[in-house]
Amino acid sequence: MFKKKTYRDVADLVRHECDDPAFAADLESHIRERQLVRRLFALRCARGLSQKDIADKMGCTQGRISKLEASKDEDLRFGDIQAYAKALGLSTILGLEPGMSAVARVKFHHACIKKDVDALAKLATKDERIAEGVSRFFNEAAFNFLMVLLDGTKQLLAEVQPFGVCVEIVGPDIQSCEQGESSGRTETKTRKRPNRKRKREAAIG
């Protein structure tokens, strides 16, 4: 029985199955040059919108949308990207950073998250039920973000892990939950890990 071979994408399939290396290389180059265009096309299809639907929302002809979707990423104008995204019900964020580092990207996404969090908090002032839902979401998001930092801390060298993040889960015990005796809300607390090195030095002194 033959094992079915799987491929990551079309480029991977052509790379392994095509006898013409030049054609495979040309296809890979073509795909790399159209990553944003392909993403916009996929988003349009996922929303069940036609090129004419996008054209009507952008106030242009269908031919212009067809030309845009056939372009390379480098040929797109930012205004067209912004208008296309708006027609899809999406917003566009432009970031300018010289060789954006991991730290810079985290700070950038932090600013984006803060903007959305502030918008949710403002929305929550209009209705009690909305406020309750937003509050629950904030608790969940805080826990998930802390777990991301905790996972990152575990990847650090053992010598510096004590300076990382420590997460404690505080809430009703499992038995009480199973018996339905507690309706308390599970909370997440953080504290700084103790500086074990200093404690050892103090003990020696």
Q: Which of 29, 64, 87 is the last residue of a domain?
A: 87
- Does residue 148 fall inside a structural domain? yes
- Does residue 127 fall inside a structural domain? no
Average pLDDT value for residue range 183-195? 47
User: Can you give the CATH number for the domain in which 33 is found?
Assistant: 1.10.260
Residue 163 per-residue DSSP state? G
Q: Which H or E run includes 190? A: strand 187-192
Q: Which of 87, 105, 128 is the last residue of a domain?
A: 87
pLDDT digits (tens, 9 = 90+) for 98-127: 777 888 888 888 888 998 999 999 988 888
- pTM reported for the whole predicted model: 0.46
pLDDT digits (tens, 9 = 90+) for 59-70: 999 999 999 999
CA distance 182 to 40: 48
- Does residue 97 fall inside a structural domain? no
- Does residue 168 fall inside a structural domain? yes
**3-state DSSP helix/strand/coil percent for the chain, to nearest 5?**
65, 5, 30
- Does residue 129 fall inside a structural domain? no
Q: Which of 72, 87, 102 is the last residue of a domain?
A: 87
**Residue 40 · residue 69 · CB < 8 Å:** yes
For 68-87, letters b (16+ CB in 10 Å) and e give bbebeeeebeeebbebbeeb
- 29 contact partners, CB below 8 Å, separation of at least 6: none
- Does residue 183 fall inside a structural domain? yes
Place of tokens 């031919």: 63
- Does residue 111 fall inside a structural domain? no
pLDDT digits (tens, 9 = 90+) for 70-91: 998 888 899 999 999 999 998 8
- Count of domains forming the chain: 2
| Residue 19 and residue 79 share a domain | yes
Reported as a pLDDT band with limits 50, 70 and 90, residue 168 is low
- Does residue 104 fall inside a structural domain? no
Structural domain of 77: 10-87
Reduced to 3 states, what is the DSSP secondary structure of residue 25?
Answer: helix
